[in-house]
């Protein structure tokens, strides 16, 4: 962890008139947090929190974003510590920073069904939704979902959605010289139902597939060394795989969007939220035998994989660009700050 240091001065915008909002977030989903660097706002990241899969910032996933620094939770208790907007990723995060003033955004990364499915003591979904809504109303907090389906699963239908972003210029040219599929996933054993893993195994049983991720119970499977290593791995593989249970996960994740940005065609099951256009940027099928045939087709035809990968890359540029993420999340921050201000005024709070 970086050594604690004094809070950075607030940066002025390009007109030199108003300070940029100072942000705080808690370390979770490094790949998602890295996107916040595209906003250009000063950002503190609380690191070293307990009960996390990785106890400190995982440089194997992403470098620390620009305009940011790692701090401890204790550092947020320092006198005169103030943030314009705090970005949380769970109810636990909201409780950890309850002592701080400032607007709050809760980012919804997972479907409620998948969270309940993986919980040892499954709570009542209706109760979870009502508890969360009451607490957010109490603190004047806002919600941003990474997809419409994930927001809806928590009861925020029609709410703010800011999808992931990827800049196709950040990825090296695609080579596809490794005649194998690629899948990036962590904790596969714990997420077999969510990842539709049995279907994956049936569809690709005789296909060479490289698995990348933190899966210590799977021999020979390792996470990437760093982001540059991950981009190199993407550039050499022939196609990317994403399978997901339609009731538990979206038809894509950040790794899928990153693979498309890197120029890989995508193979997976049919899913209502998949960004893949069948036969154009990849192949989709709910029949494992058919999907297996498509995989063999791409292994035997690198030019076809290249054409489909180019289509995938252009789709990301049009629908999942990093600039779109930055613009939409900046608006979400402004809205959250306005909501928080209104809530404080209604309660007669001056700060």
Q: Which CATH class is domain 168-319?
A: alpha beta
What are the tens digits of pLDDT across the range 85-94?
999 999 999 9
Q: How confident is the model at residue 348, as a pLDDT?
A: 61
Indicate whether 351 pLDDT > 80: no
| Same fold flag, 23-165+322-346 and 168-319 | yes
Q: How confident is the model at residue 342, as a pLDDT?
A: 85
Q: What are the extents of the domains in the chain?
A: 23-165+322-346, 168-319
Q: Please compute the mean of the pLDDT values over residues 26-37 and round it to a whole number.
A: 95
User: What are the residues whose beta carbons fall under 8 Å from the beta carbon of 146, sequence distance 6 or more?
Assistant: 32, 107, 108, 109, 161, 162, 163, 164
The pLDDT-based confidence of 18 (bands split at 50, 70, 90) is low
Q: Please compute the mean of the pLDDT values over residues 232-245 and round it to a whole number.
A: 98
Two tokens, residue 220? 């020979």
Q: Please compute the mean of the pLDDT values over residues 260-266 and round it to a whole number.
A: 98
Cα separations in angstroms, 96 against 22, 48, 201, 204, 251: 18, 13, 40, 43, 32
Q: How confident is the model at residue 349, as a pLDDT?
A: 53
What are the tens digits of pLDDT across the range 147-170?
999 999 999 998 899 999 999 999
Q: Is 22 exposed, middle or buried (0-12, 13-18, 19+ CB in 10 A)?
A: buried
pTM of the prediction? 0.91
CB atoms under 10 Å from CB of 19, counted, come to 13
> Phi and psi (nearest 5°) for 79?
-55, 145
d(CA 39, CA 3): 24
Q: With beta carbons less than 8 A apart as the criterion, state whether 99 and 77 touch.
A: yes
Q: Please compute the mean of the pLDDT values over residues 28-46 and round it to a whole number.
A: 96
What are the tens digits of pLDDT across the range 183-232?
999 999 999 999 999 999 999 999 999 999 999 999 999 999 999 999 99
Instruction: Name which of 216, 184, 214 is nearest 200 in CA terms.
Output: 184
Alpha helix positions (H), 205-301: 227-236, 254-261, 288-300
Indicate whether 291 pLDDT > 90: yes
Instruction: Name which of 17, 36, 16 is nearest 25 in CA terms.
Output: 36
Q: Please compute the mean of the pLDDT values over residues 1-8 and round it to a whole number.
A: 39
Q: Please compute the mean of the pLDDT values over residues 95-114 and round it to a whole number.
A: 95
d(CA 351, CA 331): 22
Domain 23-165+322-346 is found in CATH 3.40.50.2000: yes
């Amino acid at each position: 962890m970086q050594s604690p240091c004094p809070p950075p001065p607030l940066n002025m915008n390009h007109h030199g008139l108003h300070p940029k909002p100072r942000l705080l977030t808690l370390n979770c989903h490094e790949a998602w947090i890295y996107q916040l660097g595209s906003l250009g706002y000063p950002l503190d990241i609380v690191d070293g929190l307990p009960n996390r899969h990785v106890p400190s910032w995982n440089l194997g996933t992403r470098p620390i974003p620009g305009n940011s620094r790692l701090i401890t939770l204790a550092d947020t208790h320092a006198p005169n510590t103030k943030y314009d907007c705090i970005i949380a990723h769970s109810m636990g995060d909201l409780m950890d920073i309850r002592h701080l003033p400032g607007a709050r955004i809760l980012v919804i990364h997972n479907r409620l069904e998948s969270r309940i499915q993986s919980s040892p003591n499954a709570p009542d979904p209706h109760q979870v939704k009502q508890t969360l809504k009451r607490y957010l109303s109490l603190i004047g907090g806002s919600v941003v979902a990474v997809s419409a389906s994930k927001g809806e699963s928590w009861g925020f239908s029609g709410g703010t959605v800011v999808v992931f972003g990827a800049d196709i210029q950040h990825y090296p040219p695609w080579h596809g010289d490794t005649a194998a599929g690629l899948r990036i996933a962590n904790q596969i054993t714990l997420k077999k139902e969510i990842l539709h893993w049995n279907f994956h195994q049936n569809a690709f049983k005789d296909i060479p597939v490289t698995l990348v991720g933190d899966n210590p119970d799977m021999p020979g499977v390792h996470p990437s060394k760093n982001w540059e290593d991950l981009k190199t791995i993407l550039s050499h593989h022939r196609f990317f795989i994403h399978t997901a249970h339609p009731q538990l996960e979206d038809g894509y994740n950040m790794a899928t969007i990153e693979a498309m940005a890197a120029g890989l065609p995508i193979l997976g099951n049919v899913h209502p939220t998949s960004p893949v256009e069948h036969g154009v940027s990849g192949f989709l099928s709910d029949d494992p035998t058919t999907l297996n045939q498509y995989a063999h087709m791409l292994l035997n035809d690198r030019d076809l994989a290249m054409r489909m990968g180019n289509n995938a890359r252009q789709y990301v540029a049009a629908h999942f660009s990093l600039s779109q993420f930055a613009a939409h999340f900046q608006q979400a921050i402004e809205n959250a700050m306005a909501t928080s201000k209104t809530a404080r005024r209604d309660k007669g709070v001056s700060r």
